[in-house]
A and B are shown apart, each in its own frame.
Chain A
Amino acid sequence: MDSTFFYRNPNRTESPAGKLAGMTVAVQSGIGVAGWPMDPGSDALAGFKAPENAAVVERLQQNGAFLAGLSRSSEFGLGLDAESAAGRAIEQKDARAEIMLDLAGEARLAACRSGIWGFKPTWGLVPKVGIAGLIPSMEACGILAGAPEDIRLILSAVAGPDDRDFSQPAFSYADGSPAGIQPDRITLGVVEEAKASLPGDEQKAFDEELAQLQKAGFKVKMLSWPDYGLCGLVHRIVGSVEASSSAGRYDSVRYGKRAPGAKNWNDMYLQSRGAFFKTLLKSYLIQGAYFQFERYDAYENACRIRARLCKEFSRLFEQVDALVFPVQKPDAPETLEGLYDQFKSTAHANVTGCPALTAAPFAAGGPALQFVGALKDDVRILALGIFLSRTATGGKS
């Protein structure tokens, strides 16, 4: 079995033109490519072929990119389980970049795991039509690449409004002249509560990395965001409720594996859903159903707190140009607790919708760094990554 690709493109027809000409891109298996199987690591979609190209695929192809194939995904892109091959196609030089869903930090953590750059754009900047999603209000099309320049190039090709995606906020994307970074004019903020969540030795390594940034000319400012710790909880409640609804359409009637021996259609739904979802996703969906049916009040509170977190987060950018968060490398969790522990340093960007870029660690043994910008400040965050990648401070590329 091909452990990297769920499906490899059998044809190699290079497009001669376009800003992505010559670039080979892998897309995650839940992203629709017309006529190709669409199976984000779940028997729920067994046998399903995408009826049309996802908007992001259409734009990649229009700009001359070559699709290497569909990379293997954890079930519906949630988490980075043993099935997920996110980042591997780039490591193996099968692709220069990869597009995958970032629901809670998957694209960024996968990049950290592979020692490459991972980016989650502002929510809604890249249309999601044609992608089998799970958490519509949090997920975004993540971009992985060995160099942040490639991410910026791909983003400029795939960002912007699409007539078919009504959920996109009313803003356009403009990557005009490359925004130069003058370190002495940039203030980077560090959320004290995020730093405090690190083990002692990693805190020290993180401090060393911050010292390197200061040495490069950046101002570093410590900030307090007391509610930082609520991001994971809010994501868990709101995300699981949305997932529970989103997965409702997988009923094994028109596609997907069907459990045998059901007595009637209700029984068929129950048995099939019980059989084809894997344990982690099933736990997540059951948790979402619990909040939908039994604790709707908690869900409403989580929505209210989310609105508050968004306001608080945007206020931080009144004091600084970007935030730096430490990110710990992921493992493959089997429980929801483990899953959210993994995303504790990334989920805030999904909760608030802000753009976030992860870089490989600057210091040996230190955590990877994640640069987070205000909403729609994607270009500056990528320019910052490009600046860092070209200086001694930058991570490996």
Chain B
Amino acid sequence: MMEFEAVIGLEIHVELNCATKLFCDCPNNPGDDPNVNTCPVCLWYPGAAPRLSQAALDKAALLCLGLNAEIQSKSAFDQKVYYYPDLPKGYQLSQAHLPLSRGGWIDITDEDGSVKRLRIHHIHMEEDVAKLVHEMEGRNPISLVDFNRAGAPLVEIVTEPDFRTPHHAMEFLKALRTQVRYVGSSECSMENGTMRADANISIRPKGTSQMNTKVEVKNMNSVRHVGDAIAYEITRQSAAVQAGEPVVLHTRLWDPDKKVTLPMRQKFEGPCVPDPSVPPIELSPDEIEALSKRLPEMPATRAERFVNQHGLSAEESTYLSSDPEVAGYFEELLREGVQPRAALHWLTTQLLPAVRQRRQELSQTPVTPARLAALLSMLAKDEINANAARDVLSSMFDSNDAPAEIVKAKGLAQVSDASALEAMIDQVLAAQAAAVADFKNGQSKAAGFLIGQIMQASGGKANPKVIRDMLTRKLSSVSA
């Protein structure tokens, strides 16, 4: 049986998080009540004149730079002609001939652990189209148009056909999302529609370099769907070729419920002609240099720095730096004096799950880095133990009091004073003669049991380290 390999390229639309639309001053809030964010420009009334948003251009250019692409000194908008009710002027303003940037790449970790570079062909700007809503009015089907989205600023990232597996596509999208979030140009959420990916897939006999007819797959609403749809399509095309059926150029939609791709009806699409109403974008080397200086430290560089400066493992560093907010929070904790390992541990295992559980954003949570650092400082000084710290952390979501006040109010201050613990230990030893006997007979597990009993007797406030030391001394003297 012939073995096939897939040749895959992605076309990814990313909605820029600008305050206004691409060519007018309407708010860029597609989710508002239908048709409230409109004007003669984005309704494309006769005489309306588009005016390119500088903020959108800046965000798009930063996005390009963040993906290692080369900004072009001259780019321009074209009219992509097609007639459909979601596009009432008959053409979409897009950069077909002279895109904003060319080239670019993202490195991913392949399934065998090696680094694979996936190249970007170009990145261009374009406006979004209106949203169609299909409903029933009584027994009649009706179609409604919501223009809130018409003219929303987008960039389209077109990759080279470097991808061979669903893993490549999924890892690329995850890395893309991280890097675009880093530069602050978009939230890149496939679930919320601020990132949409289409995949062009073809297959060929493994080991050959031929390029065969591709099939475009749309309607994947999550990174996982992209992987599933590509995997399905590779299997479908391979079976078709094995059966002697030709692969025909067309577009298919991913059905996430049935987990299959299905052929879709084609939109009528025409050519792209230069648009005379929006002047070409010309950026001087100085302007491009100035934009480059606005680029933040990107995730790969940051991860490397975390390894070198803070002694974290490569895996821990990559995880931390994959989200700019998390990485920023981590660095804030370090600035507040928290040790790197403690910061990593409490941020990833305690704070983030608690924030997610409360459906908060890290940037919005009342547990600021300064407050968490104050709590961890008490823990480091043995003023509280870990159990108490977890308890206090939970309370910090509902109270603006300083951690020390919460500790005081809850009576969670750790007891480390030997004289206060002495009597407590003696009482437990007297009451647990059997366990003491077990210890004498060489059962070391009995010590853990006794520590637990002492902690219980202290109401959880005793310092476990001090107890362990004192208990060890006492039992040794008893056995001697």
Contact = CB atoms under 8 A, between A and B. Distances in A.
Q: 7 closest A-B pairs (Cβ-Cβ)?
A: A248-B90, A137-B276, A132-B46, A249-B89, A136-B276, A130-B47, A166-B51
A54 B40 CA distance: 12
Interface string B28-60: 000000000000100111111111100000000
A245 B49 contact: no
Given A254-B88, A292-B81, A136 B277 contact: yes
B49 A249 contact: no
A132 B52 CA distance: 20
B77 to A, nearest CB: 11
Contact of B47 (A129, A242, A247, A299): A129
A54 B47 contact: yes
A303 B89 contact: no
A136 B143 CA distance: 32
Contact of B40 (A51, A242, A247, A253): A51
A266 B46 CA distance: 21
Nearest to B268: A266
Contacts of A247: 90
B91 interface: yes
Interface string A42-80: 000100101110100000000000000000000000000
B463 interface: no
Contacts of A32: 46-47
A293 interface: yes
Nearest to B49: A129
B46 A45 contact: yes
B91 A245 contact: yes
A167 interface: yes
B274 interface: yes
A131 interface: yes
Contacts of A249: 44, 46, 88-90
Given A248-B91, A253-B85, A293-B270, A166 B50 contact: yes
Nearest to A52: B40
Given A38-B46, A48-B46, A165-B49, 5 more contacts: A50-B47, A51-B45, A163-B51, A249-B89, A251-B83
A132 B47 CA distance: 5
Contacts, number: 84
Interface residues on A, range: 35 or more
A292 B49 contact: no
Interface in B56-93: 79, 81, 83, 85, 88-91
A167 B91 contact: no
Interface residues of B, number: 29
B90 A251 contact: yes
Contacts of B277: 136, 166-167
B interface secondary structure, majority: loop
Given A32-B47, A130-B47, A166 B91 contact: no
A166 B90 contact: no
Contacts of A129: 47-49
B205 interface: no
A279 B478 CA distance: 113
A133 interface: yes
B296 interface: no
18 contacts: A38-B47, A48-B45, A52-B40, A131-B47, A164-B49, A166-B277, A167-B279, A242-B273, A245-B79, A245-B81, A248-B81, A248-B89, A248-B90, A248-B91, A249-B90, A266-B83, A266-B268, A303-B274
B446 interface: no
Contact of A167 (B45, B47, B276): B276
B334 interface: no
Contacts of B91: 245, 248
Interface string B84-127: 01001111000000000000000000000000000000000000
Contact of A245 (B47, B50, B90): B90
A131 B50 CA distance: 13
Nearest to A251: B88
A299 B97 CA distance: 14
A296 interface: yes
A131 B47 CA distance: 4
A344 interface: no
A251 B45 CA distance: 11
